[in-house]
């Protein structure tokens, strides 16, 4: 009996769908749960503009105060290893992953409802926004541990595939809600947007049931797993091949930005309404996806030193184009503020995503076997500590230059200083590995 070629092709196609549908990863309920958590993180961007307008208009905070609050809100991301230790060493009802995901979703829902109903001053806003950040940070630690385990199984040629996939779903979530984030503010209050956002963290609580894990002995987890991980963690941090790249990325991430001041400039000076800012977010969400795809397709095998060095220089150069908008020079060349803002945001976001992807890949590849989740969480917390430092330095710099909600005379200088500061880590580029960090002697200075 002969088998037709069409039948063979169908079987091959079916096998391809089963085995290679997602960047080479076979679809499983657990992978679906991981991707949904990242997707929800992107969806939560629905309230990003509402939070910004809430702090600016309803609470009357200044650009420097908003920058400082943003830095404080990132504190849960600084102590991510603590959540990793809690998950590993303090299982709930014998489980280390699912209960923490369920609790993080419930905390997120409650926090957004509180922001919609009880917050009426800067101090309470700081606490509640801190709670929303805590919710996402906890769920992020859990899925990060699963992602790092999968990333370690990748070959060097496949490196970055799982991160690209996860960040792609996050960007997709942001893409879906990008325009809605502005459109909703044109038709509903900030509080109504917060109430809508409160429903999405509940999805994390539901998909937590898809995580596959065996019930363990809580005493065994507390005494053996945590103790061993702490020992391995300190052993890993003593290695120059881990310490120096970590120091470089801390310096790279800690440089200040003009983000908060620029938001006030676009709304108060240029008159951009929420609906248009939603369009900008839609463009940046699309640009993030483009950046991820470009990295995955063309750049993932380029050495870390080379891609981070060149992308930093290019990003700093492109960042200077913001001066054209700040000084209204774009009008002199016949480009409207809105068109220029859309185009500039697209280009800068693509470049920023291309720059960020190798940081994620390098962080995963730095983690030795046996301490993946905890060390990766520590590395991410170090990046977020540097981000907190970036926000606080930005707040001081914004205040020092006299940039307020109505005075933008020195915003051009703030843009120049913040862009040039991104070049400060370049003399330490040699601290990065020349090849795969999992290979011996990959760090040569």
Indicate whether 29 pLDDT > 70. yes
What CATH number corresponds to the domain at position 198?
1.20.1250.20
> Which positions ≥6 away from 314 have C-beta within 8 Å?
351
**Highest mean pLDDT pick, 148-162, 179-193, 334-348, 410-424:** 410-424
pLDDT digits (tens, 9 = 90+) for 321-330: 999 999 999 9
Task: Confirm whether 12 is domain-assigned.
Answer: no
Whole-angstrom Cα distance, residue 378 to residue 381?
A: 5
Q: How many domains does the chain have?
A: 1
Task: Confirm whether 10 is domain-assigned.
Answer: no
Closest CA to 403 of 314, 298, 311, 326: 326
Position 15 scores a pLDDT of: 45
Task: Confirm whether 15 is domain-assigned.
Answer: no
Task: Confirm whether 438 is domain-assigned.
Answer: no
Comparing 52 with 221, which gets the higher pLDDT?
Answer: 52
Q: How confident is the model at residue 25 (pLDDT cuts 50, 70, 90)?
A: low
Whole-angstrom Cα distance, residue 11 to residue 135?
A: 44
**Highest mean pLDDT pick, 65-69, 132-136, 180-184, 215-219:** 132-136
Q: Which residues form the domain of 201?
A: 24-431
Q: Which of 64-78, 134-148, 232-246 has the lowest mean pLDDT?
A: 232-246
The mean predicted confidence, pLDDT, of the chain is 80
Q: How confident is the model at residue 217 (pLDDT cuts 50, 70, 90)?
A: low
Task: Confirm whether 439 is domain-assigned.
Answer: no
pTM tops 0.85, yes or no: no
pLDDT digits (tens, 9 = 90+) for 147-169: 766 655 544 444 456 667 777 78
Closest CA to 150 of 247, 288, 33, 253: 33
């Amino acid at each position: 009996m002969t088998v037709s070629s069409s039948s063979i092709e169908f079987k091959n196609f079916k096998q391809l769908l089963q085995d290679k549908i997602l960047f080479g990863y076979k679809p499983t309920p657990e992978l679906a749960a991981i991707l949904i958590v990242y997707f929800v993180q992107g969806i939560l961007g629905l309230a990003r503009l509402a939070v910004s307008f809430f702090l600016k208009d309803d609470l009357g905070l200044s650009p420097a105060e908003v920058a400082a609050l943003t830095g404080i809100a990132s504190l849960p991301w600084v102590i991510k290893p603590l959540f990793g230790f809690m998950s590993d060493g303090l299982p709930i009802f014998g489980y280390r992953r699912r209960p923490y995901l369920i609790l993080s979703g419930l905390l997120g829902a409650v926090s957004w409802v509180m922001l919609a109903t009880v917050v009426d001053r800067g101090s309470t806003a700081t606490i509640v926004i801190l709670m929303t950040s805590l919710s996402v940070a906890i769920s992020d630690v859990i899925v990060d541990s699963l992602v790092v385990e999968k990333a370690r199984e990748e070959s060097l040629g496949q490196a970055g595939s799982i991160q690209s996939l996860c960040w792609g779903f996050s960007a997709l979530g942001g893409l879906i809600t990008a325009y809605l984030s502005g459109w909703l503010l044109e038709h509903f209050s900030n509080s109504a947007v917060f109430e809508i956002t409160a429903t999405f963290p509940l999805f994390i609580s539901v998909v937590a049931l898809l995580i596959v894990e065996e019930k363990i002995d809580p005493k065994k987890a507390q005494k053996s797993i945590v103790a061993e991980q702490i020992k391995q963690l300190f052993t890993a941090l003593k290695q120059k091949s881990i310490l120096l790249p970590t120091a470089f990325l801390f310096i790279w991430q800690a440089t200040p930005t003009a983000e908060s001041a620029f938001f006030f400039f676009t709304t108060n000076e240029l008159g951009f309404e929420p609906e248009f800012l939603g369009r900008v977010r839609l463009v940046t969400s699309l640009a993030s996806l483009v950046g991820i795809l470009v990295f995955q397709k063309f750049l993932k095998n380029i050495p870390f030193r080379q891609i981070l060095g060149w992308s930093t220089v290019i990003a700093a150069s492109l960042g200077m184009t913001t001066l054209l908008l700040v000084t209204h020079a774009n009008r002199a060349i016949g480009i409207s503020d809105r068109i220029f803002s859309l185009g500039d945001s697209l280009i800068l976001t693509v470049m920023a995503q291309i720059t960020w992807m190798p940081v994620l890949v390098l962080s995963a590849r730095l983690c030795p076997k046996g301490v993946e989740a905890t060390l990766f969480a520590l590395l991410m917390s170090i990046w977020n500590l540097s981000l907190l430092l970036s926000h606080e330095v930005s707040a001081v710099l914004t205040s020092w230059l006299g940039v307020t909600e109505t005075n933008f005379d020195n915003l051009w200088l703030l843009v120049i200083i913040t862009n040039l500061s991104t070049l400060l880590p370049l003399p330490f580029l040699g601290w990065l590995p020349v090849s795969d960090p999992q290979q011996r002697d990959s760090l040569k200075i």
